[in-house]
Amino acid sequence: MKIAFIAIKGIDRIGGVETYTLELGKRLVDAGHQVIVYTIKTPQYSRPFFHEGMWIIPLPTLKHVYFEKMLLVALASFHQFTIKHLDIVHYQAIGPSLFSFIPRLAGRRTIFQSHGHEWAHAWNGLARIVFLLSEKLSFWFAHDSIAVSRSLRHYYHKKYRRDVTYIPSGITPRQAIPCQTISRYGIKMDGYILFVGRLSKEKRVHDLLLAYKRLESPPLKLVIVGNARAGDAYGDELRALAGNDSRIVFTGAVYGDELIEWYSNAYVYVLPSETEGLPITLLEAMSLGRCCIASNIEANVEALSNKGILFPVGDVNALSTHLQQVMTNPAQVKHIGSILHQHVLSNYTWTLITEQFIRFYQKVMQPVSGQTANLLTMQGKQTMSINYPINRAADVTETTNTASIMLPEESRGYYAPPQQQIPFRQYWGALRHNLGPVLLSAIGGALLLLVLAALTNPTYTAKSSIKVDTRSPMLLNYDVDTARPPSYIDETVFYNTQFKMLRSRDLAKRVIDKLAIRDSLLAERPFKPAMYVLTDPFNDLVKFVRSLLPTDGESSNAAEQVTAEEIFLKNLSIKPVKSSRIIDIQYTGQNAEQARNVVQTLTQTFVEQQYEDRREVAENGKRFLNEQIYSAREKLQTAEAALIRYASAKNIVDTNADEPLIAQKLEALSKAYMAAKENRIRTQSQFNNKGELSGILNAEDDPVVQEHKQELGKLQGSYLSNLELFKPNYPAMLSLQEQIRSRERLIAEATALIRKNTVNNLRASFDAAQDEEQKLAKEIKLLEKELLTFRSDNIGYANLKRDVDSLRSLYEGLLQRLKEVSVVETVQSDNVSVVDTAVAPSRKDGPSFSKYLLLGLLSGFLLSSLLILVREIMQPKVRISADLQEAGGKYQVLHALPYNKAVSEGSTVIFKPKSAAVWLDALRYLRTSLVLANHGKFPQILHITSPLPGEGKSTVAVNLATLLASSGHKVLLIDADLRKPTVHKHLNLDNSSGLTNYLSGNLSQSPLYRIKSTRMLFAICAGPAILDPVEALSSSRMQSLLDKARELFDYVVIDAPPVLGMADSLLLSNRADGTLLIVANNTSTKQEVRTSIECLEKSHGKLLGLVQNMVPLRHISKTSNYSDGRNMLIPA
């Protein structure tokens, strides 16, 4: 299902109805249904959003204590048309349900839920009337209804005879919260008496305060949680009653966990209300195991179910006694709290309540008799299917374990609740019946407004348009436009400011003074002198009455004085053009030229005012800059003098050059030192690791060594070649051997010398690199010491130098800004320009006679229609057979007799069949219906009456008796209406003597007339008036007359007085075989018909049925005059 709730104030404005809706809604979502909730639009919640699965739709409304919610409900009622496939529209509370007819226009199922008697709250008189009217209309408009308590259900059933479904409020079981946050009030666990709720008079919190003050040294504090409505002084009255008693704590409105904490730690909860629906605060306290004391109103009795403590509402002494008793018996308090905890968890949990709502919604969706609906019931977040018959309205009754929906029994007695439908057809019938007065009202309204238009002075409206930019055109390269609004200001704020400036009293005064129109404005009057000839006496009377009242004379005189500026602003209209920067300016006056001059002067003055404001801002800026420049110059000069003195004392000349020079030298030495260190490491590595190897390599590369090696090679080659020829001992061979050894010695000596020289060179390079590194390190240390000394001496100077630089920068910036502002002041561009110049209006605005005529017609029509509607609501009259059947309940409407002029004039239609053929056919139909209603035979003594006089009962009696007599039956017609008899007028008989003479004993027999035109019809007239008709009709002579008539006549028809207001008909109904109740169209109300039926039932008479009389022919069946037009057969 898709369900829309209308309407709550917001998800963050927690009240009883808000809590109820949100708790129910989220559980319906858990059960798989779609839920839509309408709320008030706020800056925080301005767009539709999801909240716990519910689709929340915020709508705009007025911030007003009375109209805020009603306007929200009206808008929501129309907005729901935009939601497709909406199944249920659920109105929360009686007030909003006033608009429940709107969704029904689209055929949507509509229900409303009552949370209490809203009209009984502390509203003003008009609000109470609205709530009462809404309560009554809701049963007409909505398909079904819900009450949160049995007492409400019984109230509605008794007052409106409606079977309202009872579904109670629910609570969410919560864990108790220890005393933490609330300890700031000096509160401890079980240390206070608690009340939670809105501070309004119907809550009777003053009774609780008075009862508490009567306690003797109470050990408990009294905590009152809640606020009063805006503008309600009841909260202040309570605080004044509490005085300076530190034991009484007012916390204001509290929500969420802190509220649960207050419930959890209270010793006892008290609810002294005089009216409630089903109090959720009481259920919350019970769910947390608190002992509860409440007033003995029906709602509290139902909630506590004889398990809590009750006291008579308003009885302060009884409440004080109960408080004193519970403070001395903590064991009883704990026991009661435990019982209430179990009771509320068994009967008022949201799981059970949601299950009941789902059943109820399904019943509303499928109101088909005798069928079975497959419904969903929720347990936690699971769903299961159940079956139950839905042929009657559902109700909720309480079993041993839980509350559930049960079907009510069939209605007893004559009354059966009808299907609830909006009676638009009934209202349309009422309008058509009262068409003459409605048209006269419309014509009267038109004439009244035409006279008003003729007496109204003509007005003329001059118009102009201006464009207002947030930024002026940039004429300079620098951004120094002093009139430009800051970028962080929203354009909306800027334009709202401009609108207010255009309607400022200062601007109005300047325009009035420029045009010198003050006297003419004060002399303006909306109407011509002829109107004031009529109204001045009334005004003088009002002034005279005011003078008799004890009021402040000065304030009274001040209230009567109207200034020219007020008149001017009343005539002035400022309308921004949507989605543009254009503003339309309109002025309405009684002189066309003056209206044009006003608009032109207003536009010009506004532009001048804007320029003057900018000039003033620039001048103020220049003045401020000059002051700041003078101050900055003084400070700069003082700082420079201090800097010079310090430099002289410290012998500091050019610190800006010295410090960089030392730093540069230190940086250069650092680089050289690093290079020297790298060189030393390299030479040391070569010396330590590559000395011998380097010598060997150098020896190999030496040319001398290489030359010796070459000669050695040659000698060795020659020796080897000669060895083949000579033996080694050969002299030549020995010579060669000596030469070879000589060369080898030379190579060894040269190599050793080279190796030694190489090592010595490497050591020398290493020593030189090491010396250079050590020298550079010493130099760096000296420079570092010099730099540190310089900086230490230069700290004070640097501080002074920094101050001088800062002040110089500020001074130069102020000088530059002053030059720019001076330039901007002379070339300032305007951001206001005129788009349309005002011209003198060529034609007047009003009064327009055609508009006044149309407005008068509509006003008269709507006002008269509304009055008829209200009258119809308050006292709905019977107009169609369905209305009469609804009022008659179990008694059937036998037939409807059409209106006929001949019948209304008192003629007997039997004698004029051609002029009243339709009426005669309806009378025959009625005779047949009476036979069927009386088990196949016409009642021998038929008693005919009506609720009120003038409903045509005598006419029906005379014509029905005549019809029976014309059929050959012997019929006696008795005029028993001894108060206002009319039978003798219908039949042209003498009424000088009749039934009253017989009943009073003046005659032994009642004068009996035989009707000449109908031989079988006899009549007894009423006779002269008597003092006590009831006594006469209840006499034995009347019973004897009826007994004798039963013997002598086939049928007896009694024309009796109306039922309401007299007992005559009740006596006659008891003595007759059957009673026929005649109800004229648009005469009796439904309630009058019901009351008449109740009276006849009390008399133990047999009511055969009802007849609707004087029904317009358009409402009669089209077959009533069914014939082919042949000539009638004349009896022999």
3-class secondary structure, 242: helix
Between the ranges 9-13, 521-525, 746-750, 1018-1022, where is the mean pLDDT highest?
1018-1022
Mean pLDDT, residues 631-654 taken together:
78
pLDDT at site 532: 75
Instruction: Grade residue 334 by pLDDT with cuts at 50, 70 and 90.
Output: very high
What separation in angstroms does the CA of 997 have from each of 982, 988, 1018, 1043, 1054?
A: 17, 19, 18, 18, 17
Mean pLDDT, residues 1016-1023 taken together:
93
* SS (HEC) of 772-806: HHHHHHHHHHHHHHHHHHHHHHHHHHHHHHHHHHH
Residues 551 and 573: their CA atoms lie apart, in Å, by: 35
| Backbone dihedral region for residue 1110 (phi beyond 0: left; psi -120 to 50: alpha; all else: beta) | left
pLDDT at site 808: 85
pLDDT at site 1058: 94
Asked if 1063 and 1091 count as a contact pair (C-beta separation under 8 A), the reply is: no
Q: Confirm whether 181-347 and 881-1115 share one CATH topology.
A: yes
Residues 903 and 910: their CA atoms lie apart, in Å, by: 10
**Is the confidence at residue 397, as pLDDT, over 50?**
no
Could you tell me which residues come within 8 angstroms of residue 370 by beta carbon, excluding any fewer than 6 positions away? Answer: 389, 391
Asked if 1108 and 893 count as a contact pair (C-beta separation under 8 A), the reply is: yes
Tell me the per-residue pLDDT of 793-846, one tens digit each, with 9 for 90 and over. Answer: 677 777 888 888 888 888 888 788 777 777 766 655 567 888 888 888 877 777
Residues 804 and 513: their CA atoms lie apart, in Å, by: 55
**Is the confidence at residue 518, as pLDDT, over 50?**
yes
Q: Which amino acid is at 1068?
A: L
Residues 834 and 583: their CA atoms lie apart, in Å, by: 10
**Is the confidence at residue 1087, as pLDDT, over 80?**
yes
What burial class does residue 450 get, using C-beta atoms within 10 Å of its C-beta: 0-12 exposed, 13-18 middle, 19+ buried? middle
What's the mean pLDDT when you consider all of the chain?
A: 80
Which residues of 878-953 form beta strands (DSSP E)? Answer: 893-898, 941-945
Tell me the per-residue pLDDT of 205-255, one tens digit each, with 9 for 90 and over. Answer: 999 999 999 998 889 999 999 888 766 788 888 988 988 888 999 988 887
Asked if 631 and 815 count as a contact pair (C-beta separation under 8 A), the reply is: no
Structure tokens at 107: 């055929």
Report the chain's C-alpha Rg in angstroms. 55
**Is the confidence at residue 547, as pLDDT, over 80?**
no
**Is the confidence at residue 531, as pLDDT, over 80?**
no
What are the beta bridge partners of residue 293? 270, 309
The conformation of residue 877, written as its DSSP 8-state character, comes to B
**Is the confidence at residue 263, as pLDDT, over 90?**
yes
Residues 1091 and 723: their CA atoms lie apart, in Å, by: 169
Mean pLDDT, residues 922-942 taken together:
91
Pairing between strand 268-271 and 291-295? parallel
Mean pLDDT, residues 485-498 taken together:
63
pLDDT at site 374: 37
Kindly provide the b/e burial profile for residues 354-389, where b requires at least 16 CB atoms within 10 angstroms of the residue's own CB.
bbbbbbbbbbbeebeeeeebebbbbeeeebeeeebe
pLDDT at site 123: 55
Query: 0.75 exceeded by the pTM?
Result: no
Asked if 883 and 427 count as a contact pair (C-beta separation under 8 A), the reply is: no
What burial class does residue 949 get, using C-beta atoms within 10 Å of its C-beta: 0-12 exposed, 13-18 middle, 19+ buried? middle
pLDDT at site 130: 76
Asked if 876 and 429 count as a contact pair (C-beta separation under 8 A), the reply is: no
Cis ω before 847 (30° cut-off from 0): yes
Kindly provide the b/e burial profile for residues 496-521, where b requires at least 16 CB atoms within 10 angstroms of the residue's own CB.
eebeebbeeeebbebbbeebebbebb
The dihedral through the CA atoms of 406, 410, 416, 419 has a sign that is positive
Tell me the per-residue pLDDT of 1065-1079, one tens digit each, with 9 for 90 and over. Answer: 999 999 999 999 999
Instruction: Grade residue 695 by pLDDT with cuts at 50, 70 and 90.
Output: low
pLDDT at site 398: 37
Q: Which amino acid is at 344?
A: V
Asked if 214 and 240 count as a contact pair (C-beta separation under 8 A), the reply is: no
pLDDT at site 1114: 67
What burial class does residue 570 get, using C-beta atoms within 10 Å of its C-beta: 0-12 exposed, 13-18 middle, 19+ buried? exposed
Mean pLDDT, residues 123-146 taken together:
76
**Is the confidence at residue 933, as pLDDT, over 80?**
yes
pLDDT at site 360: 92
∠ CA(141), CA(144), CA(147), 5° rounding?
110
In the chain, domain spans: 1-170+349-420, 181-347, 435-455+848-872, 460-546+563-612, 655-830, 881-1115
Range with lowest mean pLDDT among 448-452, 701-705, 1002-1006: 701-705
Between the ranges 345-349, 1001-1005, 1106-1110, where is the mean pLDDT highest?
1106-1110
Return the H-helix or E-strand segment holding 57.
strand 54-59
Instruction: Grade residue 377 by pLDDT with cuts at 50, 70 and 90.
Output: very low
What burial class does residue 64 get, using C-beta atoms within 10 Å of its C-beta: 0-12 exposed, 13-18 middle, 19+ buried? exposed
Asked if 865 and 891 count as a contact pair (C-beta separation under 8 A), the reply is: no
**Is the confidence at residue 266, as pLDDT, over 80?**
yes
The dihedral through the CA atoms of 1003, 1004, 1010, 1011 has a sign that is positive
Tell me the per-residue pLDDT of 1-27, one tens digit each, with 9 for 90 and over. Answer: 899 999 788 886 656 788 888 889 999
CA 309 to centroid of chain Cα atoms: 37
What are the beta bridge partners of residue 574? 585
pLDDT at site 98: 81
Mean pLDDT, residues 724-732 taken together:
79
Structure tokens at 723: 């060895």
Does CATH number 3.40.50.2000 belong to domain 1-170+349-420?
A: yes
pLDDT above 90 coverage of the chain, percent: 23
Q: If you search the block for the tokens 């800062």, which residue do you land on?
A: 806
pLDDT at site 74: 86
Range with lowest mean pLDDT among 49-58, 482-491, 534-543, 856-865: 482-491
Mean pLDDT, residues 699-713 taken together:
74
Mean pLDDT, residues 896-903 taken together:
78
pLDDT at site 376: 37
pLDDT at site 829: 54
pLDDT at site 1096: 92
What are the beta bridge partners of residue 1106? 893, 1077
Structure tokens at 711: 């000669």
pLDDT above 70 coverage of the chain, percent: 83
3-class secondary structure, 713: helix
Nearest to 1051 by CA among 947, 894, 931, 923: 931
Asked if 656 and 798 count as a contact pair (C-beta separation under 8 A), the reply is: no
Structure tokens at 323: 């408080």
Tell me the per-residue pLDDT of 549-601, one tens digit each, with 9 for 90 and over. Answer: 665 544 445 445 788 898 899 889 888 887 788 889 999 888 888 889 998 99
Between the ranges 37-51, 624-638, 955-969, where is the mean pLDDT highest?
955-969
The dihedral through the CA atoms of 524, 526, 528, 529 has a sign that is negative
Number of helices and strands in the chain (H, E): 36, 30
Tell me the per-residue pLDDT of 165-203, one tens digit each, with 9 for 90 and over. Answer: 889 888 888 888 888 888 888 888 999 999 998 888 889
pLDDT at site 1128: 57
* Residue 913 main-chain phi, psi, to 5 deg: -65, -30
| Domain 881-1115 class, CATH top level | alpha beta
Asked if 1016 and 1051 count as a contact pair (C-beta separation under 8 A), the reply is: no
What are the beta bridge partners of residue 1120? none
pLDDT at site 411: 34
Q: What is the widest separation between alpha-carbon atoms in the chain?
A: 215
Nearest to 1025 by CA among 1061, 986, 992, 978: 978
Asked if 592 and 460 count as a contact pair (C-beta separation under 8 A), the reply is: yes
Could you tell me which residues come within 8 angstroms of residue 753 by beta carbon, excluding any fewer than 6 positions away? Answer: none
Instruction: Grade residue 914 by pLDDT with cuts at 50, 70 and 90.
Output: low
Assigned architecture for domain 181-347: 3-Layer(aba) Sandwich (3.40)
pLDDT at site 961: 93
**Is the confidence at residue 866, as pLDDT, over 80?**
no
**Is the confidence at residue 309, as pLDDT, over 70?**
yes
Range with lowest mean pLDDT among 58-72, 99-113, 430-444: 58-72
* Residue 1130 main-chain phi, psi, to 5 deg: -90, 120
Q: What is the dihedral of CA 389, 390, 395, 400, to 10 degrees?
A: 20
pLDDT at site 121: 58
Pairing between strand 403-406 and 395-398? antiparallel
**Is the confidence at residue 1122, as pLDDT, over 50?**
yes
Instruction: Grade residue 711 by pLDDT with cuts at 50, 70 and 90.
Output: confident
